Amino acid sequence: MSNADSDGAWPWLWHAKEANDGIPRATTALLVIAIAALSFFSLFRRRNHATAPLPPGPRGVPFFGYLPFLGTNLHQKFTELAETYGPIYKLHLGSKLYVVVNSPSLAKEIVRDQDMTFANRDPNIAAAVASYGGRDIAFSSQGPYWRNLRKLFVRQLMSNVSLDACYGLRRQEVRKALSDLYRNPGVPVDVGELALLTLINAVMAMLWGGTLQGDKGEAMGIEFRKAAAKLMVLLGSPNVSDFFPALAWLDLQGVERDIKRVHRWFDDFIQSVIDCATKGTTNELFKQKEGESKSNEQKKDFLRIFLDMEMDLEDIQPPMDKSGALKAVLMDIVIGGTDTSSTMVEWVMAELLQNRNVMNKVVHELTEVVGEDEMVEEHHLPKLKYLNAVVKEAFRLHPALPLLVPRTPYASCVVGGYTIPKGSNIFLNVGYIHRDPKIWDKPLEFRPERFLEDPSKYDLSGNNFTYMPFGSGRRMCAGVALAERMLLYVLASLLHSFEWELPPGVELEFSDKFGIVVKKMKPLVAIPRPRLSTRELYMSR
């Protein structure tokens, strides 16, 4: 061996001498073999890793990543990036990695094929505050606590038996809203505000029997809407404290301060509900009508399921008490059951006012199914095929949560040939999927007929990965059964009982404002005019 060879890669090994060195030649040979093997496996792993690299994505700038270019309308920015980077891409935002999925096939890998891996949550600061530290159904990570809570919610509260039992309470509040509209014919109304107040009262009635009463109750409804809108914006807003946890104590944008203020308002609201239900107290906002005490036993049962629930909390870390769980889930019901549904009522009504031919078809169907001498009942809803298609089309064009709630894998895995690191945040961009021209014919047109061609192909349960307005898999929206009933019932009642038109000189616009729930930028104002045969129909409850 030449000097050049012997002074190569491992000179300290090859110059070992049996007699003088502490490492005999046999040991040296074993070390060389071991190092060669380790080098081979390291190379093999690198090659394997090379077959599953991180997804593509914009580079951004050092330290900040893509954060300076993100803007505030994430759903629009994510759509722009999808056009450039394709079905999956990554974003470095500060110290965190985000992955955006824009295709049904890759969404299926996440919500079906690897659903367990992606079933965790990593709530941002705003979500952690709003959910009482991640104690609700939406933001708690999978585990015994979440499974018990979801099982209780879906099997008991959201079961057909429970929802059927509470129908009279929903019906009463919808009829009250229709009576109030009838008393003020031709007066422009804020459709979203009307829908929200109706839904708040319906949910309150189902929980314990109290509703928002009088002028102060109406004012509270308006305040509720403002607080809910603020909450949704804060939940979806990019927050420097989330991207740079070391800076969270500074709260540079004031997000934590603002979310705590909004959360205190809702906590007081929910505590009032709990006090009225458990202690028998009343206040000037939440009142029960005379003659309702007997029926209220059924109403209180809806809430008492939580108060009497038996959950094994011994093995859950960190420990979680029942009162915290109760408030967190009530927050889910009160916000999810009202704000999201009222937002969709507004989008549907806006599309119908923009597309009068579709509106006429909906009204004709309601006349055929219900008749002009009756009010809408929930048993009519399955027969309203065209209205169902209209609602589905509105969810396609205007999904309430176009990015859903982000998922977090508990272990690194491969999706679509790309490595998804443990702890990254995954957005399913259903807003983009719902408008993808490779999937939908004329995707920007409001055309409900597309859902009549094969009614079984698309539903709200997330089984078709081209259409997932409520998500899919184990982390899909737990309240979809109630949301579907309430949305259809409120819409059918408003459209059957009144003709709707825009105020003179008003033009519709469809710009939106981003939050975890995307709302119409400019509230929809419309004029209702009674269309049924007799006054008595509007006065009946």
**What pLDDT, on a 0 to 100 scale, did the predictor assign at position 292?**
46
Q: What is the dihedral of CA 463, 467, 472, 477, to 10 degrees?
A: -120
Q: Which SS3 state, helix, strand or coil, does residue 266 take?
A: helix
Distance CA 519, CA 196 (A): 13
Question: Taking the CB of residue 355, how many other CB atoms lie within 10 A of it?
Answer: 18
Q: How far apart are CA 65 and CA 58, in angstroms?
A: 9
Comparing C-alpha atoms, which of 79, 115, 126, 390 is closest to residue 251? Answer: 126
Nearest to 410 by CA among 401, 423, 429, 419: 423
pLDDT score recorded for residue 400: 93
Q: What is the pLDDT of residue 189?
A: 96
The token pair that represents 470 in the structure block: 């409520």
Residue 281: count other Cβ atoms within 10 Å of its Cβ.
10
What's phi and psi for 162, nearest 5 deg? -65, -45
DSSP state of 110: I
Which residues have a Cβ under 8 Å from the Cβ of 234 and sit 6 or more positions away? 126, 130, 255, 258, 259, 262, 515
519 Cβ contact list (under 8 Å, min separation 6): 192, 229, 232, 343, 346, 512, 513
Helix (H, G, I), strand (E, B) or coil at 513: strand
The three-state secondary structure class of 375 is coil
CB-CB contact of 154 with 161 (8 Å): no
Instruction: Indicate the DSSP class of residue 502.
Output: P
The pLDDT, as a whole number, for residue 209 is 63
8 A C-beta contact, residue 111 and residue 465:
yes
- 288: its two tokens: 């029960």
Per-position b or e across 500-524, b if 16+ CB within 10 A of its CB:
bbbeeeeeeeeebbbbbbbbbeeeb
pLDDT of residue 73: 87
Residue with tokens 């709260």: 251
Helix boundaries (H) for 336-421: 339-354, 356-369, 385-397
CATH number, domain 74-539 = 1.10.630.10
Q: Residue type at 401?
A: L
Tokens 């009530």 sit on residue = 330
Rounded distance between C-alpha atoms, residue 247 and residue 249, angstroms? 6
Which 8-state DSSP code applies to residue 288?
P
Domain spans in the chain, listed from the N-terminal domain onward: 3-51, 74-539
| DSSP letter for each residue of 414-458 | EETTEEE-TT-EEEE-HHHHTT-TTTSSSTTS--GGGGTSSTTT-
Note the pTM of the prediction, 2 decimals.
0.84
CA 436 to chain CA centroid, nearest Å: 20
- Which token pair is 370? 């219900």
Written as tens digits, the pLDDT of the chain (541 aa) is 444 444 433 332 333 333 344 444 544 444 445 445 544 544 444 444 447 899 999 999 999 999 999 988 899 999 999 999 999 999 999 999 999 999 999 999 999 999 999 999 999 999 999 999 998 999 999 888 898 888 888 887 888 888 888 898 889 999 999 999 999 888 999 999 999 989 988 888 887 665 656 666 667 777 887 898 899 889 988 899 999 999 999 999 999 999 999 999 999 988 887 777 666 555 555 555 444 444 444 444 466 666 555 444 444 445 555 667 788 888 888 888 888 999 999 999 999 999 999 999 999 999 999 999 999 999 999 999 999 999 999 999 999 999 999 999 999 999 999 999 999 999 999 999 999 999 999 999 999 999 998 877 898 889 999 999 999 999 999 989 999 999 999 999 999 999 999 999 999 999 998 888 899 999 999 999 999 988 889 886 6
